[in-house]
Amino acid sequence: MFSLKNKTAAITGGASGIGRAVTIAFAKQGATVHLLDLNTTALDEVVGEIKNAGGNAVAHQLDVVKQVAVKTVFENIANVDLLVNCAGISNIGKADNTSEADFDRVFQVNVKGMYNCLHEVIPYMQKNKSGVIINMASIANHVGLQDRFAYSMSKGAVLGMTLSVARDYIADGIRCNCVSPARVHTPFVDNFIAKNYPGKEKEMFEKLSASQPIGRMAKPEEVASLIVYLCSDEASFITGCDYPIDGGFINLNN
């Protein structure tokens, strides 16, 4: 079950965090994985790990904000069966203290970057009359998160794009879903806490972990397992859905 053999997968943000976990999980399930990421050192490390384990992986340095560059990368990959949009950034701030520059930066990466990838991949999937797209959303689609105005804006847009793509291309055999994690323990989270809460890292980590009713943050591999399922033939009847993976955050936080 859940085989991805003979599938070609493209994962943005594929060299770190959730994207890295997805890349490794897909390779284990037999897919040829294309990692799209800015960090060349991390790209080389993950590709080496996958190849040493007998998998197939190709690295592409890419800034998803640049549409011409995105177009070139997907032309080189050609037929993409699976697209997982993991690339994204966060920002702390409310509506009145989020700067225009920060708002634009979050929008460019989280919204326009995802649009760029969708724009280039969908025509290939249409030709093949098949394809699966998974977009990284957030519990911010469902609940109000304090001091996350721009981030919440961007993830709300991800949900909207997911539903639109699912509706528009269902007759072309393309499925599109999104997943909405609560907090996931990645290097991104560690760096984020260190940058924004210097001297209070341990305290903030424990506070953020305890905000999930299950009592901890998710592991990247747990999110990757859900995405493997949604991209597999076993999930062939699922499209236009958002999957919270949140340790009870949405429904059990009273």
| Active site (catalytic) residues | 151
Containing H/E element for 179?
strand 174-181
CA atoms within 13 A of residue 129's CA, in its CB half-sphere: 1
For residues 83 and 11, give the distance between their C-alpha atoms in angstroms, rounded to a whole number: 6
Structural Rg of the chain based on CA atoms: 17
DSSP letters, 82-136, are EEEE-------B-TTT--HHHHHHHHIIIIIHHHHHHHHHHHHHHHHT-EEEEEE
DSSP 37-64: ES-HHHHHHHHHHHHHTT-EEEEEE--T
3-state SS class at 166: helix
Rounded Cα distance between 100 and 241, Å, is 32
Backbone φ and ψ of 186, nearest 5°: -130, 170
